[in-house]
Amino acid sequence: MASSGDGISASGNMTLLDGTYTITAGGGSENGEDHQEERPGGSGGPGEPGGMLPSGERPQGEPGEKLQEESETTDEGEASETASTKGIKANGSLAISGGTYTIYAADDGFHSNSDIAISGGTLTIASGDDGIHADGQVTVSDGTIVISESYEGIEGSEKVLIAGGRITLTSDDDGLNSAVVEISGGHTEIDAEGDGIDSNGTFTVSGGETYVSGPAGDGDGALDYETDAVITGGILIAAGSSGMTVNFGEKSTQGSILLNTGSQEAGTDIVLTDASGTELLSWQSSKSYASVVISCPEIVQGESYTIKAGTSETTVTMDSLIYGAGKSMGR
């Protein structure tokens, strides 16, 4: 299906149960808005989604406030509505529990003016704006999501909740962006030019596996949060620049290590071993990096661990559960 506007649109709620859909909206992601002028010096400080005027339909307002459509001025000086070019859009809530979706969209791949709940299905998205966007909350509890192109990968103005499923996303700006980000399950891999995970409030991890190839530029960080970050379970490795490094906070009940590694090449191994030399974690960042945050249930207070990251090798002793306190530019 090819459409000059939205591929599928509902004026109220939408539920997708099954089926196979291939949708090109607005000519595809290559026709998306040019966001470069919106990122002078990168994503910016905490509390500001991306540190800029948000993209597309969000030229002003607080999180959760979104203009329905942009407008343009005709030669006669009258305002006219610009066509919406989203893959699948619901003015109400959007629920996906099955089906196969291949979306090429100039604007958001999947969009809701309310909440999005994904509990199954296979979603493959190339988007000129957000891969998945909800004005309210995005919840992923199952399914497979592959976002190969996006400005921001998954954005929920109020919350992004990852409880299950398998997510692989690439973004020109933030990978996950919301007022609150909670990860309790699933397998998530993020490759972001902006902040890998950006919470304008709290960021919590209690389960799942999360791997972040964050930005190479110092104006953004692999992790960014405004108020607090707490990890109580799960696996997380986040590699990125050293200019805005942050670790989890003191309310965490699982150990977390932050290290500046010096400049390391993409594809080099990041390996965590315990004092006996047993390998606990191993992963490769898809981009060059200069810092690493690493956390897993095996990191406990009082024990020593060695982190090899490319040419860097450091042994640390966990005098407390949180080793290394980075600081964000602008904090």
| Res. 151: pLDDT tops 60 | yes
d(CA 121, CA 20): 10
Record the tokens describing residue 236, joined without a space. 């997380």
Phi, psi of 257 (to 5 degrees): -120, 130
**Mean pLDDT over each residue of the chain, to the nearest integer:** 87
pTM above 0.75, yes or no: yes
Of the candidates 163, 127, 118, the one whose C-alpha atom is nearest the C-alpha of residue 145 is 118
DSSP label at residue 51: G
Rg (CA), the chain: 20
CA angle 310, 317, 294 (to 5 degrees): 45
pLDDT in tens, 180-212: 999 999 999 999 999 999 999 999 999 999 999
Percent of the chain with pLDDT over 90: 76
Max avg pLDDT among 113-117, 213-217, 241-245: 113-117
| Res. 98: pLDDT tops 70 | yes
SS3 162: strand
Record the tokens describing residue 88, joined without a space. 């699948």
d(CA 309, CA 260): 10
Q: What is the pLDDT of residue 326?
A: 57
Q: Evaluate the CA torsion angle 308, 311, 315, 318 in order and state its sign.
A: negative
Record the tokens describing residue 242, joined without a space. 């050293």
Contact 197, 224 (CB under 8 A): yes
Contact 202, 180 (CB under 8 A): yes
